[in-house]
Amino acid sequence: MPTYKVAIVGAGPAGYFTAQSLQKAQTDGLTFLIDMIERLPTPWGLVRSGVAPDHPKIKTVSKVFEVIAKTDGFRLFANVEVGKDVFIKDLRDQYDAVILSTGASVGKKLGILGEDLKNCISSADFVPWYNAHPDHANVDVDLSCDTAVVIGAGNVAMDVARMLAINPTELDSTDIAEHALAKFKESNIRRVIVGGRRGPEHAAFTAPELRDLPKLENTDVYIDQEEIKRAYLRIEKLGEVEKDLKNNLEAMKLISEHQKKGVDRSLELKFLATPKLICGDGKVEEVIFTINEVKDSKVIATDKTFTIKAGLVVTAIGYDLLEYSGIKIENGKIANIAGHVEHNLYTTGWAKRGPTGVIGTNKSDSADVVELVIKNLKEPKQSEGITALLKSGHEVIDQLGWEKINASEIISGELVGKPRIKEVDWKRLISLGRS
Ligand code: NAP
């Protein structure tokens, strides 16, 4: 019975769903030994360090990851960095297939003046900061101002805006990083403005996330009703309207009409506003936006601007890939055809298709790539795998080690009514995994 060795690089949703697809494809005549390699001492990728703490339901997918991880033939090698501890070229020699599921973790830049001012922070730093990612624990976040601007009209912008706009007591029972909760509790921010450069009909928010906004208990959410009416008029002219867009606009219309509570915390979604300049004396003080308009379905800049006085700017405008030596990146993705990079090298998830899609998107996407992997398999390699490549004494966090970390975090959380208290220190994570 041929058994093939597959290395999956990256222990996020794409990596786990790739492993699951390989496991599901096993037959009496075909089995896989799957080694999942992860740079951090902890797995789960964006489920741990991306999903907003006030969205615990989304995180329940980690139960599926644990079933995959406990299936025969699966091994976790966390605290192993590809490009430093092991190299793609060597992995390709040791494994029948190597699948890069490394996501996209570098925040895109606006490319405008003032972006480098203090307290202008990318979501690529801000989100992992509040989610206890060990590399982002020390991000310098100043919440002493009363107004924050979030740039972008996607779900990450919405997560960030919600985190800034809700009453932090709503986060008490979540797995938010302890350092971030303490900062949010001292925050003076009461007004959060989200700026999208195109119209409501072009926004990348999704309807379930929009529908949650009016349910916020301590925050009033505003969208200009006239803006939504104009968006409806524009799309009606275009003929049949796609279901997702209809749902999105309906959800935004509901927000615009929703009775406000009269509380002191507000979150406002603004459209057709491109950030032009961020001003301040060493630190963010205001953002100047160009007002856009939609003409013949095209978004064009007018010569009008408006200014928002704000002490914090978070840019949530998408992600780029971290570069690996010898791996070509094209249009924000690893250059690939249907997930195939070259010879025995493949890619899945955001690394394959760019930073789009929700966690579940990775399921079907990975299944397609695994089909291709199987089609291209040759004679199984007689090799040792990653253990032949790691320096002796390299401290790997394996599945058992991760389970120790996981249990310790959950127990600490249980004592104070939280799902877990995440350990944020890299060295302590390793020692928890060792104990
Ligand atoms: P996204 O959905 O692609 O949204 C990026 C936003 O940034 C767009 O509104 C885009 O506007 C804007 N943008 C890009 N460049 C800009 C610039 N130079 N100036 C101003 N605005 C700019 O990306 P994301 O929010 O990072 O989310 C990534 C993926 O994760 C998405 O598929 C999202 O749905 C998913 N996600 C899901 C959840 C959830 O399910 N709860 C939570 C978080 C993320 P244009 O459209 O004009 O380019």
pLDDT in tens, the chain (435 residues): 799 999 999 999 999 999 999 999 999 999 999 999 999 999 999 999 999 999 999 999 999 999 999 999 999 999 999 999 999 999 999 999 999 999 999 999 999 999 999 999 999 999 999 999 999 999 999 999 999 999 999 999 999 999 999 999 999 999 999 999 999 999 999 999 999 999 999 999 999 999 999 999 999 999 999 999 999 999 998 888 899 999 999 999 999 999 999 999 999 999 999 999 999 999 999 999 999 999 988 999 999 999 999 999 999 999 999 988 899 999 999 999 999 999 999 999 999 999 999 999 999 999 999 999 999 999 999 999 999 999 999 999 999 999 999 999 999 999 999 999 999 999 999 999 997
Distance CA 61, CA 358 (A): 12
Q: What is the pLDDT of residue 264?
A: 97
Q: What is the pLDDT of residue 324?
A: 86
The answer to whether 121 and 313 are in contact (CB under 8 A) is yes
Q: What is the pLDDT of residue 237?
A: 87
| Residues sharing a CB contact under 8 Å with residue 101, sequence separation 6 or more, in sequence order | 8, 9, 10, 12, 14, 15, 18, 347, 348, 349, 351, 366
**What's the token pair of residue 219?**
């925050």
Distance CA 348, CA 90 (A): 20
Helix (H, G, I), strand (E, B) or coil at 148: strand
Is the Cβ atom of 154 under 6 angstroms away from ligand 1?
A: yes
Q: What is the pLDDT of residue 241?
A: 84
Q: Is 163 exposed, middle or buried (0-12, 13-18, 19+ CB in 10 A)?
A: buried
Residue type, 108: K
Using the atom order of ligand 1, give the atom closest to the CA of residue 55: 41
Is the Cβ atom of 429 under 6 angstroms away from ligand 1?
A: no
Of 325, 349, 327, 320, nearest in space to 36 by CA = 349
Residue whose CA lies nearest to ligand 1 atom number 3: 318
Helix (H, G, I), strand (E, B) or coil at 347: strand
Q: What is the pLDDT of residue 167?
A: 98
Starting at the edge strand that comes first in sequence, how are the strands of the sheet with 345-347 ordered? 74-78, 31-38, 3-9, 97-100, 345-347, 340-342
Residue type, 21: S
Is the Cβ atom of 361 under 6 angstroms away from ligand 1?
A: no
Using the atom order of ligand 1, give the atom closest to the CA of residue 123: 26
Tell how far the Cα of 356 is from the centroid of ligand 1, in angstroms.
8
> Against a cut of 0.95, is the pTM above it?
yes
**What's the token pair of residue 376?**
């291209």
Of 307, 298, 245, nearest in space to 273 by CA = 307
Q: What is the pLDDT of residue 393?
A: 93
Is the Cβ atom of 318 under 6 angstroms away from ligand 1?
A: yes
Q: What is the pLDDT of residue 116?
A: 97
Distance CA 65, CA 184 (A): 31
The answer to whether 339 and 27 are in contact (CB under 8 A) is no
Residue whose CA lies nearest to ligand 1 atom number 9: 153
The full length of the chain comes to 435
Is the Cβ atom of 209 under 6 angstroms away from ligand 1?
A: yes
Is the Cβ atom of 386 under 6 angstroms away from ligand 1?
A: no
